[in-house]
Amino acid sequence: MQTNTNAATDTATNSMVENSRISTPVGILSIISFIIGSALVALPYSAYHMSIYFAVPYHIFKCICAIYSIHLFLKCAEVTGQDSMARIGCEVLGKSSLYLASLSSMLRIVPEIENKYKDSLGNQWFSIAMIALLLSPWMFKRRFQDLRIIGVLLFFSVILFSILFFFLLVVFKTSWLSEYSDTNWGEFFKIKFDSEFFGSLSTPLVGYGFQSAFFPVYNNLKEKNYSQGIISTILSLTFCFFIYMMVIFVSVTAFGDKICKDILNNLDRNHDSHPWQGILLKSVYTIVLVGHFPFVFLMANKSLLGIIALFCIRGETQNGTENIESGENFQNSHIRNRLVPTERVQLLSAENEQQYEADQLHKIASQKQDYVELNHTDESVIEIENSTPSDTNHEFGSSSLIQFQFEEDTNEETVSSKLRRFIYYSMTFGLYLAIVLSACLIRNVEFVIRLAGSIGYSFLNFTFPGLFYFVIMRRHGVNNSWWQLVPALALCIYGIVIGILMTGFNLFLKSEDEVQECLD
């Protein structure tokens, strides 16, 4: 009777988990929701100063790098069995990688949110407060599945913005953009290696960055495998690439050498004579940004919770490579790591503690078949299979919330789903309030954060995937030829170099602008 009850419970649980997962098309929409944002209206200015001969290949190169980085992450996940960037990092850098990943993600995401408030609403206290209030129900969502409607809204908003942008700036240009009737866009075909050229390189870096958000989407797919992950990435980036190219070429054709850093500012110049066209485009673009907020904020919030967890939870992170370094077989080590349950966390509620212990006992028992198939006869592991979570913790030592965080299939979502409601909502409210207040009160804070954000982008997008792949493949003894390892190492080095260079150029351009303002 007890067996039948457990089987029925397992079936109901599996059915509920399966129904909560997202299909591949919804996963593609989620990735697009992370990619397309404020960079959409900044890319034309960037491309104009890079010239067509450099801008188009550079965008293609960024797409290829993004796809390659996801390929490296997925291969690392196959070898380590850890479907999370933070847990994969533990294999390479230990607990320090968790701090780096969380901080890099925060540095990458927070300035985006703040700048989007300013781009779409300006520094209007009332407008920012109203839009923040309207978005607040979505900001407190704890799962990506709850944002499906927002993802669909964002997708169709991008399509609508692209169509309106094309028709208003190309078909009806002569009727309302009289100031740009004699624009010169010949500079678009000239490459000049000046400060504007090098400063423009960082914008596509932002425009195609989404790697830190990949695993949360990937882990919620119904068909979770390498092919679905790569297909979702390729289709998402292809869609974004063509949208970017359309906006770039239409903007350059319409505005030429008078193009602004934000193309929406070009529309304001004819606001008095033909106001409705500019208002229409800005309204649709605001919907795009509003649809982008919840996805970006959810990642920022999870990064914050990850950092808080590192300070709140006792113990050190289990090093998943110790068994391999001591000469044991990789397969045995992988099963051992999966069998090790984590220490129960003080931040969990009593109900979640009981559910967690039951889940861990069921998980340990479920490893029996895998264990037998590997023909492993280590008596110490047999003892682990028959032990309780507390006994196993005593043998292997305690571990941090981050190890517990990624034990479940949902990975990054486990922190937000297991923490007490008071802790989750208080931290979420604090982060949201800080972003809204900074958008209202502080004028230049986004520049300082953008400098660190450029490093965050380069590390998350290039350095981490290349470094993790190179080290993990070598450490686990996976047969990889040098033609597979060298590109990964080159991507790692490229991320470090581009991060330092972009930070330096941002500082230089900022100082140049300050000097010019003083002279004027």
pLDDT of residue 451: 57
Q: Is residue 437 part of a domain?
A: yes
> Could you tell me if 129 and 268 lie in one domain?
yes
Per-residue confidence at 331, pLDDT binned at 50, 70, 90?
very low
- With beta carbons less than 8 A apart as the criterion, state whether 221 and 232 touch: yes
Q: Which of 399, 429, 451 is the last residue in one of the domains?
A: 399
Instruction: Indicate whether 450 pLDDT > 60.
Output: no
What distance in Å separates the CA atoms of residue 453 and residue 446, rounded to the nearest whole number? 9
Query: Which tokens belong to 398?
Result: 């305690």
Domain boundary (338, 367, 399) is at 399
- Give the pair of three-digit tokens for residue 37: 């944002």
Q: At what angle do helices 96-121 and 125-139 cross, to 10 degrees?
A: 130
Q: What is the pLDDT of residue 252?
A: 82
**Rounded to an integer, what distance in angstroms lies between the CA atom of residue 235 and that of residue 243?**
12
Residue-level pLDDT at 64: 93
330 is a domain residue: yes
CB 469 within 8 A of CB 72: yes
In a domain, 15, yes or no: no
Query: Residues near 158 by Cβ (< 8 Å), separated by ≥ 6?
Result: 32, 36, 243, 288
Q: How confident is the model at residue 28 (pLDDT cuts 50, 70, 90)?
A: confident
Residues 109 and 59 in one domain: yes
**Band (61; pLDDT cuts 50, 70, 90):** very high
Please tell me whether residues 214 and 294 are part of one structural domain.
yes
At 192-235, the pLDDT tens digits run 777 778 778 878 887 887 877 788 788 878 888 888 899 999 99
Higher pLDDT, 308 or 344: 308
Q: Which position has the higher pLDDT, 347 or 440?
A: 440
Cα→Cα distances 22→27, 400, 441, 453, Å = 6, 29, 39, 30
Q: Residue 256 is part of a domain; what is its CATH number?
A: 1.20.1740.10
pLDDT for residue 31 is more than 70: yes
Residue 133 has pLDDT above 80, yes or no: no
More confident residue, 514 or 491: 491
- Judge if 116 and 242 occupy the same domain: yes
290 and 198 in a single domain? The answer is yes
Q: Is the pLDDT of residue 40 over 60?
A: yes
Confidence at residue 140, expressed as pLDDT on a 0 to 100 scale:
74
DSSP conformation class of 221: B
8 Å CB contact between 299 and 216: yes
148 versus 414: the higher-pLDDT residue is 148
Q: Tell me which of 266 and 3 has the higher pLDDT.
A: 266
Of residues 440 and 406, more confidently modeled: 440
Task: Examine the pLDDT at 256 and tell me if it is beyond 60.
Answer: yes
d(CA 26, CA 154): 12
Quote the tokens at residue 508: 């230089």
User: Is 395 in the same domain as 481?
Assistant: no
Task: Tell me: do 129 and 199 sit in the same domain.
Answer: yes
My answer on whether 301 and 184 are in the same domain is: yes
Could you tell me if residue 285 is inside a domain? yes
- State the amino acid at position 112 in one-letter form: E
* Structural domain contains residue 499: yes
User: Is 190 inside any structural domain?
Assistant: yes
How far apart CA 513 and CA 519 sit, in angstroms, is 10
Do 329 and 273 lie in one domain? The reply is no
Measure the CA–CA gap between 82 and 472, rounded to whole angstroms. Answer: 12
**Averaged over 119-141, what is the pLDDT?**
65
Please tell me the distance from the alpha carbon of residue 167 to that of residue 39, in angstroms, as a whole number. Answer: 21
Top-confidence residue, 76 or 358: 76
The more confidently predicted of residues 496 and 321 is 496
Domain count, the chain: 2
Q: Is 377 found in the same domain as 428?
A: no
DSSP conformation class of 419: B
Handedness of CA 285, 165, 238, 464 (dihedral sign): negative
In a domain, 209, yes or no: yes
Residue 30 · residue 291 · CB < 8 Å: no
Range of the domain at 380: 322-399
* Same domain membership, residue 296 and residue 161: yes
The answer on pLDDT for 470 being more than 70 is yes
**105 has a pLDDT exceeding 80:** no
What is the 8-class DSSP label of residue 383? H
The predicted structure's pLDDT at residue 282: 74
pLDDT of residue 178: 56
What confidence tier does 271 reach under pLDDT thresholds 50, 70, 90? low
Whether residue 205 is contained in a domain is answered as: yes
Report the C-alpha gap between 327 and 304 in whole angstroms: 37
Contact predicate 161/288, CB 8 Å: yes
- Maximal C-alpha separation, the chain: 85
Helices 43-50, 52-80: inter-axial angle, 10-degree rounding: 120
Q: Greater confidence, 462 or 37?
A: 462
Q: Output DSSP code: residue 357.
A: H
* Pair of tokens at residue 337: 């790591």
Rounded to the nearest 10°, the torsion over CA 492, 498, 500, 506 is: -160
Same domain, 370 and 333: yes
| Mean of pLDDT over the chain | 67
For residue range 139-167, list pLDDT tens digits in order.
777 666 677 777 777 778 888 888 888 77
Beta bridge partners of 348: 419
355 pLDDT above the threshold of 80: no
